[in-house]
A and B are shown apart, each in its own frame.
With several copies, the nearest count.
Chain A
Amino acid sequence: MRGVSHLTDLSSGSAQPASQGNAATVGGDDIILELRDLEKRYGHIQALKRSTLAFRRGEIHAIVGENGAGKSTLIKLLTGVIRRSGGTIVWNGQEVDLSTPNEAIALGINAVHQEVVLCRHLSVAANIFLGDESTKFGLLQRRDMTRAAQKILDDMGFSLPADVILDTLTIGQQQLVATARASLRGTKFIIFDEPTAYLTRQEATQLFALIRRLKAEGVTVVYISHRMEEVFELADRVSVLRDGTHVGTRNIDETDDAELVSLMINRTLDQIYHKEQIPFGKTLLETCNLSGKGFTDISITLRAGEIVGLYGLIGAGRSEFALSVFGRNPKTSGDILWKEQPVDISNERKAIDLGIALAPESRRDQGLNLNLPIGFNINLPVYDQLMAGPIIDHGEERRRADQQIKDLGIKTPSRRSLASSMSGGNQQKIVIGKWLNHGAEVFIFDEPTVGVDVGTKAEIYRLFAKLLKNGAGIILISSYLPEVYELADTLHVFREGHLVGSQTDRERSHEDILAEAIGV
């Protein structure tokens, strides 16, 4: 750690040439929050190792790092979600305890956590005002609160109704509610932990506007993301965590992509989007005028060796389409052809038996058995193949799990650790890893790289290439345009449940495609 500490600029009050160009409130001395030798241990695991970091008043401070580097842990410590194992926290020059959420709230520290932490049974307005209700004579002022919440949402440019139950919203929309809530309450210090993971470009733009407005109001913003372009677009400074250690802080205009990545993963990454052109094979999967809840009249074709990308905004109907193909939701009309034969996929088992695999979009709700071990999760779809007579071949079970953990670089002490103890990105790797063992021919990946760090992303894309080489086809659903744009051989654009455009040759620009998805 000592070896890299010279890279940090935090304790020094020395002038920052670059940051002086920024808003006047940003000054080297104006430290609002300082972390000294902060530590967090989970049993034997050291999630955070004696990290020292400082945040200035009114700056946008990005934090980057690999999956499991300790970013979310840091945030949880600052918001009193978990208790630190060692070190001190200094707020406005005063040492603070910050061991309960209430303390953080009282100081004006708030966060949008990586996983949405809201009450799904309550309305949007109730969630926004939870713990801060307006009452008259002890009675709740529901209507006032709903109106106020609606105003807040409108002001932020989020087109969300305030009076619906949270449950009825998509994850992305829920993330926006969490954002509204935190912005309202985080009067001095707001932390965003991968807020754009479930947002499309359009919503992300709204969010960025909001963040800039907060900064203008003198609020300190901490911004965690795996998307470098966002970091460069927004941040004043950026800190890098590696293996639970703070390895450096840079002014944004003094660094570049390559430097940050090499700080993060301790090596350089020449190429993220790994793509080899292989000749397409026979047609694997075809949908003919398929309709169902949330999508209408979708016809697409997938051939061996091909990546078909589905792009669209939140709620465009891509996930619903994928779930229907996988037999999870019933279709209302149209046909599915498997190797040119019509098939009736009435449940998930049938899809799996045909050779279709689906890595669903929501890792918490659909992808993982959180309170069960990692190895269990990885093998769940393939236990059929692991039987030695009536009982499980435990050796094979172990081997397959360890293989995936190694291949995907899942950061865990053992396959027996619970999935819930994994960092967000590592959980995502499990969701993908579940299906790589299975020997499927068609893979549907729904937002596969949400929350995954750059290094691993490259790894996953390399895996895609391997799958394709083995004769598989991939349907890639992503709201992250660069990803589908670079990887897809055929790119379909969805809007409001309809297929509104396709291209095979990357002739159109990002802007064109985005416009098509929005419908302008």
Chain B
Amino acid sequence: MTTEITPTTTKTRRNFSFLFALTLVGLLVLICVALSIATPNFATGNNISNLLRQGSMIAILAIGQTFVIITAGIDLSVGAIVGFSTVVVAGLIQSGMPVYLAIIITLIMGLLIGFFHAFGIVKMGLPPFIITLATLTSLRGIGLLMTNGSTINITDASFNQFSRESFLGVPNLFWMVIIVAVPAFVFLHLSKWGRYLYAVGSNPEAARLSGVSVPKMIYIAYGLSAMCAAIVGVMLAARLGVGNATQGEGWELQAIASSVIGGTSLFGAVGSVHGPLIGAFILATISNGANLLNVNSFWQRIITGALIIIIVFFDQLRRRNR
């Protein structure tokens, strides 16, 4: 933000981020408690399962997006990659390819799309906003062309079944979140690569002069973001049982919003893995609760907008007061 004077904090960034995450968790818990009181249907095992499924896809997108935002970039293409990936994985499976191979190819394709973004940024000097906006536009076109505007029906039952089942009582889709989040946490918070990512977002020139390969980090960030989107594409294809290029529309904004609600700064160098996760589930819970309470669909939009403002505002307050 342009007018903000760097907040002067004497506490540590690490404690800070931890406490901050705690308070976001607190908010999530608060919402859940309120909903449990408001409707008996909320705190049922079945609904919690649904909720975990509903939030899982945006959560994974938000984690990927966070890597990119930490480098002071943005990835508008993730929604389009989700839609495109459903088409690719559905097409491959329907062409008779073994499911695991179809999935691997789809993820690699996602990675390559991310590398293309990084190429545009690093080599062609394009702003991230523009290159990812361009692929957003083009990818939807390619996906529509591949399916001729229709959907590809996936007939492999086991693939579809995966998204419905649970393991140890937790829906498989949420296990996917864990499978993505744990390595992401290690990468971002415990490895040197994570440190380099922050350095690039904070001051690329200083990072460079400290021996960090800025282009490499850009490739990694965009590659991971696009690959997360491809993972979500596979999950969505499994969940819907179809490939359809127009799916995932607007999910990029939801992912970015989750990330920012989770404390990521769009100016780079500030962000975590747990924050966006919680951000995504806050949004999912709001929408789940509104559905259970049968809130009018139009009111739901109004409330969601207002809650985003309130949540981020209190977050800002908390940051300033320390």
Q: Which residues of A contact B (CB under 8 A)?
A: 42-45, 79, 81, 101-102, 105, 113, 117-123, 126-127, 130-133, 135, 138-140, 163-165, 167-168, 326, 328, 347-349, 352, 358, 360, 365-373, 376, 379-381, 383-384, 386-387, 390-392, 413-414, 416-418, 420-421, 434
Contact = CB atoms under 8 A, between A and B. Distances in A.
5 A-B pairs closest in CB distance: A416-B12, A131-B210, A43-B10, A369-B202, A119-B202
Contacts of B211: 101-102, 105, 131-132, 348-349, 352, 381, 384
Given A117-B203, A121-B13, A135 B192 contact: yes
A135 B191 contact: yes
Interface in B176-229: 186, 190-192, 195-196, 198-199, 201-203, 205-213
Given A328-B208, A369-B199, A416-B11, 13 more contacts: A79-B209, A105-B210, A117-B205, A132-B211, A133-B192, A139-B186, A140-B192, A168-B10, A348-B211, A369-B207, A390-B186, A391-B190, A416-B14
Contact of A101 (B192, B208, B269): B208
A286 to B, nearest CB: 22
Nearest to A416: B12
A118 to B, nearest CB: 5
Nearest to B215: A347
Contact of A119 (B12, B186, B190, B198): B198
Interface centre among B6, B14, B205 (most CB of A within 10 A): B205
16 contacts: A81-B209, A105-B210, A122-B202, A123-B12, A130-B195, A130-B199, A133-B195, A139-B191, A165-B12, A328-B209, A371-B6, A372-B13, A373-B14, A390-B191, A391-B191, A392-B192
B8 interface: yes
A121 B10 contact: no
B231 interface: no
Nearest to B195: A383
B210 A434 contact: yes
A371 B13 CA distance: 10
B270 interface: yes
B148 interface: no
B133 to A, nearest CB: 23
Q: Which of B196, B198, B213 has the most CB of A within 10 A?
A: B198
B11 A367 contact: no
A12 B207 CA distance: 39
B36 interface: no
Contact of B190 (A81, A392, A418): A392
Nearest to A118: B206
B206 A367 contact: yes
B190 A371 contact: no
A132 B190 CA distance: 15
A358 B12 contact: no
B9 interface: yes
Nearest to A367: B206
Interface string B263-294: 00000011000000000000000000000000
B195 A348 contact: no
Contacts of B209: 79, 81, 101, 113, 117, 326, 328, 348, 358, 360, 366-367
Given A44-B10, A119-B269, A349 B195 contact: no
Contacts of A120: 202-203
A328 B205 CA distance: 10
Interface of B: 6, 8-15, 186, 190-192, 195-196, 198-199, 201-203, 205-213, 269-270, 322
B192 A369 contact: no
B207 A119 contact: yes
B191 A392 contact: yes
A391 B269 CA distance: 20
Contacts of A326: 209
Contacts of A135: 191-192
Contact of B12 (A140, A371, A373): A373
Contacts of B199: 119, 122, 130, 369, 372, 376, 380
Contacts of A163: 12
B205 A366 contact: yes
A163 B14 CA distance: 10
Contacts of B206: 117-119, 127, 130, 365-369, 380
Contacts of B195: 122, 126, 130, 133, 140, 376, 379-380, 383, 392
Contact of B198 (A122, A133, A167, A368): A122
B9, B15, B195, B203: most-surrounded residue (chain A CB, <10 A):
B203
- Identify the interface centre among B10, B201, B212: most chain A CB within 10 Å of its CB: B10
Contacts of B8: 42-43, 167-168, 421
Contacts of B12: 123, 163-165, 373, 414, 416-417
B9 A168 contact: yes
B11 A43 contact: yes
Contacts of B201: 121
Nearest to B196: A383
A372 B207 CA distance: 12
Contacts of A434: 210
Contacts of B15: 416
Contact of B191 (A131, A140, A360): A140
A49 B207 CA distance: 29
A139 B186 CA distance: 8
Contacts of B270: 121, 371
Nearest to A434: B210
A396 to B, nearest CB: 12
Contacts of B196: 131, 383
A285 B124 CA distance: 35
Contacts of A45: 10
A402 B258 CA distance: 36
A364 B146 CA distance: 50
Nearest to B8: A42
A101 B5 CA distance: 14
A123 B136 CA distance: 37
A123 B269 contact: no
Contacts of A101: 208-211
Contacts of A349: 211, 213
A126 B205 CA distance: 16
A376 B212 contact: no
B79 to A, nearest CB: 29
A381 B210 contact: yes
B6 A380 contact: no
B122 to A, nearest CB: 13
